[in-house]
Structure 1
C-alpha cells in the first residue's frame, strides 16, 4: 500500500495540548498548501464550500484498541470513537473553505496540528453525507 501526501497543513495548533477535540469547536483559520503537482485537482472547489479533509495524525503517540472517549467514563473500542490512537492514524475533518488562492486553501474548523500531511480533500455533499 502506498499513500502520498498531497499537501501540508499550516495551523495555529502547534501541539496536541490546546488543540480542539473537534475542529467544529474552533473558528481558528488554518491553511492547506496543496503541492504544485496536485494543484490542478483543486479546479471546481469554491469559497464557502464545505470539504472533508483527510490527513495523517503524524504525532499520534500510540495505538490503543480501547479508549475512554472525551466526556465519557467507560472504555469503548477505538473504532467507535474519534480518538487519534488508531491503527492507522488518519484524521477526517469537515471544514469550511474560507478562501482559495492558487494552491492554498484557507479553512476554518480544521483540527489538524501544524505540519500535518494532507492525504485527500473531498467535497461535502449533503445528499450523500447526511443519512
Structure 2
C-alpha cells in the first residue's frame, strides 16, 4: 500500500497523508435502519453528542429487526454504532482544526478506514420500531449498524470487560 503526502489542495489539509485503498472489502454489514437528527449536513453536527441537554434523535429500525428490540426499554443507555457514510477513508495522518498532525487511530475523527462511529446515548423511549435517544452527533439519514445496551460508570458498568466466554 503506498502512502501519498499531499499539500493543501487535494481535499485534505497541509501535512495530512493518504493511502491507496484496497481493491476489495474483507466483510459486509447489514444496516439495521437509519438515524434521524436535527442536523442535515456534517458541518451542522456537534463534535460530541450531549446525553443530558442534546436534542432528541430517533433510530428508525427496519421492521425485520423489530423483535430484536425486545427488552431494550429496560435500559437507561444504549451504545449506537453507525456508519459515517460521507467520511473519507484514505487518510492515515490527519491535522485536526487548530491542532498538530496525528495518526488516524489516535483521533476520534470520522475519517478512518472503516468509518464506524460509536456513541453512548440516553435511551428515552422504544415505541414499535422507533427508538428515541439523546446524545448523538451525526446527520439525519446516517445508516445504523447496531444497537446494544450500555451501562455508564454511574450505573455500575464493569471496571474491566468480562472474561471471554462469560
TM-score normalized with structure 2 length: 0.71
5+ residue gaps, structure 2: 1-26, 152-156, 162-166
Who is 2:94 aligned against? 67
Considering Cα pairs closer than 8 Å and 6+ residues apart, tell me whether 1 or 2 has the greater RCO: 1
C-alpha contact 2:89 2:114 (8 A) present in aligned 1: no
Runs of 4+ in structure 1 deviating by more than 6 angstroms, as ranges, are none
5+ residue gaps, structure 1: none
C-alpha contact 1:47 1:99 (8 A) present in aligned 2: no
C-alpha contact 1:48 1:99 (8 A) present in aligned 2: no
- Partners of 1:22 and 1:58 in 2: how far apart? 17
**Structure 1 residues 116-125 or 25-34, which shifts more?**
25-34
C-alpha contact 2:75 2:149 (8 A) present in aligned 1: no
> Post-superposition shift, 1:41?
0.5
The answer to whether the aligner puts 1:44 opposite 2:60 as a matched pair is no
Alignment RMSD (CA, Å): 2.0
TM-score normalized with structure 1 length: 0.88
